[in-house]
Amino acid sequence: MTQAAAILLLAGSLYDQSLIRLLRERFSDPGVSYLLLDARSGGLLDSRWPEAERPAPVGSLVKPFTALAYGEAHQFHYPDYVCRGKASRCWLERGHGRIGIVEAVAHSCNAYFRALAAEVRRDDLASLAQRYGVDPPPAGSTAETLIGLGGGWRIAPLALAGAYCRWIAEPRAAELVRGMALAAQSGTGRAAGLGLIKTGTAPCVHEQKAPGDGYAMAFYPAEAPRYALLVRVHGVPGAEAARVAGKMLRVIRDGR
């Protein structure tokens, strides 16, 4: 290693330590859990998440894995679908209309992903999950399970964050990444307002039960991400977890 490279490495390490201290000071609410990773290596920088290696339901954060499995089987040509809202069993009652994969990721459209999941072989998805180091969906999973509805598909948060770091840098995942960028601008993650983000809402696994917990998987900066942040907020939907993630990303961006 050259002297210049060593200096840059030390500077980066000191900056990371400063960010870790700031995040710990400002986000000490016991209802907030988070993992901070180096997005380039997938290495864990900091954890404030009890039992981060224990599998748990993570809601719509599984959707990109189902999309990748579909893509591998269809030369990464994704279809358009028409979401009719309640009639299509989507969370958005009025519906999303005709959308493609980018908009479906951005708005976490249940109708789109349910239709996509219906064409995904469970064995293909299990093989993909194994490659990325996450637990596969259980045998006999329905399309609902494959898009994160209910608590059937459980993944350890630490493994999930590492898997996102691996696939997000792949050229074949470009459309999913565009969807995460759009989510931060005008989709389910718009409360974050920057970076790349995917949100989810899952059954609560806390001892003190709530209707659900909100999740947000975020990357910053959007171009060539350096940091990955997985956030869970107790008792709120994913959109609220995105708001908390956005506050944390601003600390990462500003360094203060």
63: in domain: yes
Query: Is residue 103 in some structural domain?
Result: yes
Instruction: Give bridge partners of residue 228 from the DSSP assignment.
Output: 37, 219
| CATH number, domain with residue 203 | 3.40.710.10
Q: Residue 25 is which amino acid?
A: E
- So what's the pLDDT on residue 207? 75
pTM for the full predicted model: 0.92
Residue 124 lies in a domain: yes
CA–CA separation, 59 and 149 (whole Å): 6
CA distance 205 to 56: 7
Quick check: is 20 in a domain? no
- Confidence at 3, pLDDT banded by 50, 70, 90: very low
How confident is the model over 6-49, as pLDDT tens digits? 333 333 577 899 999 999 999 999 999 999 999 999 999 999 99
Domain that holds residue 245: 29-254
Give the span between the Cα atoms of 196 and 17, in whole angstroms.
23
Identify whether 211 is part of a domain.
yes
Tokens coding 39? 């997005």
Mean pLDDT of 154-163: 98
Nearest by Cα to 183 from 117, 236, 227, 243 = 243
Whether 104 is in a domain gets the answer yes
Q: How far is CA 241 from CA 135, 210, 215, in A?
A: 23, 15, 6
Residue 1 lies inside a defined structural domain of this protein: no
Burial environment of residue 240 by CB neighbours within 10 A (0 to 12, 13 to 18, 19 or more): middle
pLDDT band at 206 (very low <50, low <70, confident <90, very high): confident
Work out the average pLDDT over 90-97.
93
Give pLDDT tens digits for 55-93.
999 999 999 999 999 999 999 999 999 999 999 999 999
Give domain status of residue 5, yes or no: no
Question: How many other CB atoms are there within 10 angstroms of residue 72's CB atom?
Answer: 15
174-186 helix and 63-73 helix, angle to the nearest 10 degrees: 150
The total domain count for the chain is 1
